Chains A and B, each alone.
Chain A
Amino acid sequence: MIAIVDYGSGNIAAIANIYKQLKIPHAVTADARELAAAERYILPGVGAFDATMRHLAACGIVEVLQEQVVGRGKRLMGVCVGMQILAGSSDEGELPGLGWIPGHVKKIARDRASPPLRLPHMGWNSINLRGDSPIFGGVDSARGFYFLHNYYFHAADEADVIATASYGADIPCSVNRANIYGMQFHPEKSHANGTAIFRNFAGI
């Protein structure tokens, strides 16, 4: 069973609906016992970094996730801000992140391109795959995904970046370290490509 971690984030219902249509067992939950029993986790997230960390802490589920994901090696995929909080810290906030993938969340610099980039980075952007992670199986990288963000995950170890998006320069848009994955774009709002990500995550 895939647990979609329910801590008040907006994209939960859409993710649950995709798994429902894929007929893949899943539960939307913030219950510690149910979380402990799950095989995999989706960590959604929309909004600001600190607010997201506070909501997660308020639900009292950081410890159970830490034990299952870091301790026992169960797979977890963070989506959008759910990916960013996998880092240790962020330009956007003051609270520490989970720190499960070494890195820092940075603001996209407007002057990465000339004329300066417009922010937020908004819309459908192609992606560039690095390596051949099975999480991107069946994905049309030229079509890409829907992005809506001002900040991105700067991984301490370049090898953890498994995809980038070209916007001015190459912006890391997906990270993977061992059993933990992160997607900066919105797979739940990216049609067939997004559905492929959720299907792949259930099978890897």
Chain B
Amino acid sequence: MLRARIVPCLLMHDGGLVKTEKFRNPKYVGDPLNAVKIFNEKEVDELMFLDIDATRLGREPDYQRLRSIAVESRMPLCYGGGVTTAAQAAKIISLGFEKISVSAAALSRPALIAEMADAVGSQSVVVTLDVKRNALFGGYSIHTHNGRTKQRAGLLEFCGQAAALGAGEIVINSIDLDGTMGGYDLELARQVRESVDTPVTFVGGAGTPDHMQALIDAVGVVGAAAGSMFVFKGPYRAVLISYSRPARLG
């Protein structure tokens, strides 16, 4: 049996890890290598690292840091941030990451998805979309550059296009629910899961293992990713890296 994946999603900023709220107010939560060591001990399903500076500053991934993370990690790794070419993706795979995530670069040039699939295999190509609910007209819009740039592509259409081009996984990150810890947007999850035939992962809104179970109950075996839930503890959001998962997943 394949199990749902419970995935800490960690944001890299200025060499450290941060956690944001609605993509703003990054708060320092620790050092990437230290986090990997803790998550190794907790036998975490998978880790996702997103460099939130790279695309905005137009710079390449920090290969040195990625190498040191990969050597230490006993769990599968996904990296996103600043990847614009298949050659960069292949380089990060060669450092020991299993999956490479693209967002802004794939939106501006969707052929990148097919080029990456050719270079590293579609199983390793992840398309991550940061989305906002449209207050007036309903539906969702895609944003890039840390939520600052609104894209014209329709969410479900682009999910389908990405899967057809060779994406092996679609990750949907809810900007509205980022850091709010009140539960996932289940309607968003349903729509996206039905629009593609690849694995999907959702991030944004999880505050407890029950929220993750509710997501799995609603849409089946998916990735349930979270940031705050794994780096904060208590009502005052004290920084504490931890890992808890729905009891039914064992």
Binary interface encoding of chain A residues 76-105 relative to chain B, with 1 for a CB under 8 A from any of its CBs, else 0: 000000000000000000000000000000
| B122 touching A148, Cβ below 8 Å | no
- With A120-B122, A120-B198 as known contacts, state yes or no: A191 contacts B2, CB within 8 Å: no
Q: Which residue of B lies closest to A11 (CB)?
A: B96
**CB-CB < 8 A to A195: which residues of B?**
74
Binary interface encoding of chain A residues 155-193 relative to chain B, with 1 for a CB under 8 A from any of its CBs, else 0: 000000000001100000000000000000010111110
- With A14-B96, A191-B75 as known contacts, state yes or no: A118 contacts B198, CB within 8 Å: yes
Asked if B153 is at the interface (CB within 8 A of a chain A CB), the reply is no
Asked if B104 is at the interface (CB within 8 A of a chain A CB), the reply is no
- With A11-B96, A120-B123 as known contacts, state yes or no: A146 contacts B197, CB within 8 Å: no
| A123 touching B199, Cβ below 8 Å | yes
Asked if A37 is at the interface (CB within 8 A of a chain B CB), the reply is no
**CB-CB < 8 A to A12: which residues of B?**
96
Asked if A46 is at the interface (CB within 8 A of a chain B CB), the reply is yes
**CB-CB < 8 A to B115: which residues of A?**
none
| A48 touching B121, Cβ below 8 Å | yes
Closest CB-CB distance, B11 to chain A, in whole Å?
A: 21
Greatest chain A CB density within 10 A among B1, B97, B123 is at B123
For residues 102 through 125 of chain B, which have their beta carbon under 8 Å from a beta carbon of chain A?
118-124
| A125 touching B94, Cβ below 8 Å | no
| A191 touching B70, Cβ below 8 Å | no
Once bound together, how far apart are the Cα atoms of A18 and B73, in whole Å? 10
Q: Which residue of B lies closest to A124 (CB)?
A: B3
Closest CB-CB distance, A194 to chain B, in whole Å?
A: 7
Select which of A13, A110, A167, A194 is within 8 A of B197 by beta carbon: A110
| A146 touching B76, Cβ below 8 Å | yes
Asked if A8 is at the interface (CB within 8 A of a chain B CB), the reply is yes
| A10 touching B99, Cβ below 8 Å | no
- With A13-B70, A122-B168, A122-B199 as known contacts, state yes or no: A146 contacts B75, CB within 8 Å: yes
Asked if B93 is at the interface (CB within 8 A of a chain A CB), the reply is yes
**CB-CB < 8 A to B21: which residues of A?**
none
State how many residues of chain A have any CB contact under 8 Å with chain B.
40
| A46 touching B124, Cβ below 8 Å | yes
Binary interface encoding of chain B residues 230-250 relative to chain A, with 1 for a CB under 8 A from any of its CBs, else 0: 000000000000000000001
Once bound together, how far apart are the Cα atoms of A75 and B40, in whole Å? 29
Select which of B4, B70, B93 is within 8 A of A47 by beta carbon: B93
Asked if B72 is at the interface (CB within 8 A of a chain A CB), the reply is yes
Select which of B3, B67, B76 is within 8 A of A148 by beta carbon: B76
- With A13-B67, A116-B197 as known contacts, state yes or no: A124 contacts B95, CB within 8 Å: no
Closest CB-CB distance, A148 to chain B, in whole Å?
A: 5
Asked if A154 is at the interface (CB within 8 A of a chain B CB), the reply is no
| A14 touching B71, Cβ below 8 Å | yes
Asked if A119 is at the interface (CB within 8 A of a chain B CB), the reply is yes
| A194 touching B74, Cβ below 8 Å | yes
For residues 1 through 28 of chain A, which have their beta carbon under 8 Å from a beta carbon of chain B?
8-14, 17-18
Once bound together, how far apart are the Cα atoms of A14 and B77, in whole Å? 12
Asked if B45 is at the interface (CB within 8 A of a chain A CB), the reply is yes
| B98 touching A186, Cβ below 8 Å | yes
Q: Which A-B residue pairs are the 8 nearest by beta carbons? A: A120-B123, A189-B76, A191-B43, A122-B199, A10-B93, A10-B94, A13-B71, A123-B5
18 A-B pairs whose Cβ atoms sit less than 8 Å apart in the complex: A13-B95, A13-B96, A14-B71, A14-B74, A14-B96, A46-B93, A47-B93, A48-B121, A119-B198, A122-B199, A123-B223, A124-B2, A125-B3, A126-B3, A143-B250, A148-B76, A167-B2, A189-B77
A47-B120, A123-B46 are known; give 17 further A-B pairs, CB within 8 A: A10-B98, A13-B71, A13-B96, A17-B71, A110-B197, A118-B197, A120-B123, A122-B5, A122-B168, A123-B45, A124-B5, A124-B45, A146-B45, A148-B124, A150-B122, A192-B43, A195-B74
